Amino acid sequence: MVYGTAVEPGQELPSIAVAPPGPRSRELGARMAAVESPAFDARRQARAARSGEDQGPIVYAAGRGANVFDVDGNRYVDLTAGFGALLLGHPPNAATDAARAATDELVLALGDVYASELKVRACEAIAGLFPEPGARVMLGLSGADAVTCALKTALLATGKPGVVAFEGSYHGLSYGPLAALGFAPAFREPFAPHLGVPVTFAPYPSSAGELGASLSAVRAALADGSAGAILVEPILGRGGAVVPPPSFLPELRALADEASALLVADEIWTGMGRTGALLASAPVTPDVLCLGKGLGGGVPISACVGRAAVMDAWGGHGGTRIHTGTHFGSPPACAAALATLETIRARDLPARAREVGDAWRAELGAACAGRATVRGAGLMVGVELADASEALAVSRELLARGFIVLTGGARGDVLTLSPPLTIEPALLGAFTSTLAELLATRRGGLTGPSSGASAGERPAR
Ligand SMILES: Cc1ncc(COP(=O)(O)O)c(C=O)c1O
């Protein structure tokens, strides 16, 4: 298949007119710091103190395709795509066009009381993503909503409150998902008194050699029969694009079956084509699937999709709607999800993500050999550097050169890259050579990604 012969708008190389953050970004950044939660500015200040460098934010003005424009007139290549949500790139695109058209007709129906036709169609389409027929759907707005719903489903369906989750995993920050967040205990600890879900964490295997220990920990956690769910990301997202060995999910499937627990696949980051397949959990059939981020192409919508037999548990409450929300399943969000799915299929974006992503990761790996470890699947990519300080410094140097990236990984030492699935390979190539040049300049003769990794930084986003 030939991709991207006609170059779309928003596929341009960076153009930095003013060193970021420019004056307008600084002014707006200061105003933002004065009104938003102090947590965000405190993180910037801590990073600035640690790195000895300015960590001031840029402020976005507009986006188009794979480009972002800041309020100072700089143009960037966006390798984050709104934390991976903008699968089709920044607007205009099919999802935002559909949402706009739906908004003009009907912005809100009446949730679980009276649906819109768009909600009916979206639920049918989303149920159709589940690997077996008859699946049921519960919509939400955020990824955390979908995981909350999955955890509730597991409790209703099994009667067992325990959850087995994984170190390094991220499932959102509302209370249910937070209890199961293995990414950084620091996120959970301040709220521990509110987190009632009994969760046991097992190591997430990053290689075949680590598989045995991980599965033994899962087995041990299931042994007393109190766990109703194994909650797993098919590939760790915020945890740094960690790809487990291929037998990991099938083994978890078998363990869940033995223990009469549900297997919950959190595909909020991996789903909808990002990793080179519509679902990264295939060919395993989970009991419950969580979708979000890219589901609406950037328009907020998420879904908890479950096997018919499991979701039946929701029907046993005397007709009381025990899980709903004002904005769940709004017509614009449903229109966006339908259009996103249609576009993903029409353009075969999973195949594109696989081909473009495989070539990019190979190119990155070769260009950064000895200085970084490249991993991932499709267009979900992690570049592991020496340590968190280097990852932070490199991310700022990349910003100065017009590439927007995030740092991630449980140690904060990974550049996490999740561009739109529509990005032109030329932009990825420009990123590769910029990164290779930066690393060569920074570390010259040093080899290996780990020349004394400091345990310093908290995970970053
Ligand atoms: C795998 C995974 N699950 C859940 C979430 C939470 O999604 P949200 O931030 O939309 O609540 C995220 C967000 O990054 C995620 O990566």
Ligand 1 pocket: which of 87, 171, 173 to mutate (most atoms within 8 A of CB): 171
Give the residue, by CA position, lying nearest to ligand 1 atom 16: 269
Ligand 1 atom, smallest distance to 238 CA: 16
> Which residue's alpha carbon is at the smallest distance from atom 13 of ligand 1?
172
Domain with CATH 3.40.640.10 in the chain: 94-346
Residue to mutate, 268, 275, 295, ligand 1, most ligand atoms under 8 Å from C-beta? 268
Task: Measure the CA–CA gap between 95 and 156, rounded to whole angstroms.
Answer: 34
What per-residue string of b and e applies to 263-301 under the rule 16 or more CB within 10 Å gives b? bbbbbbbbbbbbbbbbbbbeebbbbbbbbbbbbbbbbbb
Domain 94-346 part of CATH 3.40.630.30? no
Give pLDDT, residue 319: 63
pLDDT-derived band of residue 8, with 50, 70 and 90 as boundaries? confident
pLDDT confidence of residue 86: 98
Residue whose CA is closest, atom 3 of ligand 1? 171
* Closest residue by CA, ligand 1 atom 6: 172
Establish how many alpha carbons lie within 13 A of residue 174's alpha carbon, considering only the half-sphere containing its beta carbon. 12
User: Does the bond joining 92 to the residue before it have cis omega, within 30 degrees of 0?
Assistant: yes
% of the chain with per-residue pLDDT over 70: 94
Q: Calculate the average pLDDT of the chain.
A: 93
Nearest-angstrom CA–CA distance, 270 and 421: 12
Give the ligand 1 atom nearest the CA of 145: 11
Bridge-partner residues for 404, per DSSP?
78
Average pLDDT estimate for 285-297: 98
User: CA-CA distances (angstroms) from residue 119 to 148, 169, 207, 338, 426?
Assistant: 20, 31, 41, 9, 38
What residues are in contact with ligand 1 under a 6 Å CB criterion? Answer: 83, 142-144, 147, 170-172, 233, 237-238, 266, 268-269, 292
Q: Which distant-in-sequence residues (6+ apart) come within 8 Å of 44 by Cβ?
A: 33, 55, 56, 57
Residue nearest (by alpha carbon) to ligand 1 atom 8: 143
Stretch among 30-34, 39-43, 232-236, 309-313 having the lowest mean pLDDT: 39-43
Structure tokens at 125: 């389409």
SS3 62: strand
Other Cβ atoms less than 10 A from the Cβ of 12: the count is 18
Check: CB of residue 138 under 8 Å from CB of residue 149: yes
Q: How far apart are CA 382 and CA 394, in angstroms?
A: 14
Which tokens go with 196?
A: 């009632």
| Paired sense of beta strands 302-306 and 288-291, if any | antiparallel
The pair of three-digit structure tokens given for residue 415, joined into one six-digit string: 């550049």
- Is the pLDDT at 231 greater than 80? The verdict is yes
pLDDT single digits (tens) 70-118 = 999 999 999 999 999 999 999 999 999 999 999 999 999 999 899 999 9
Whole-angstrom distance, CA of residue 126 vs CA of residue 129:
5
CA distance 117 to 158: 33
The Cβ of residue 209 has, within 10 Å, a number of other Cβ atoms equal to 9
Number of the ligand 1 atom closest to the C-alpha atom of 302: 10
Query: Which helix (DSSP H) or strand (DSSP E) does residue 229 occupy?
Result: strand 227-232
What is the maximal distance between C-alpha atoms in the chain?
Answer: 69
Taking a C-beta distance cutoff of 8 angstroms, is the pair 430, 13 a contact?
yes
What's the gap in Å between 437 CA and the centre of ligand 1? 32
For residue 41, count CB atoms less than 10 angstroms from its CB and return exposed for 0-12, middle for 13-18, buried for 19 or more. middle
Look up the CATH number of domain 23-78+348-443: 3.90.1150.10
Residue ID of nearest Cα to ligand 1 atom 4 = 171
Q: Where in the chain is the domain with CATH 3.90.1150.10?
A: 23-78+348-443
The rounded Å distance from CA 416 to ligand 1 centre is 14
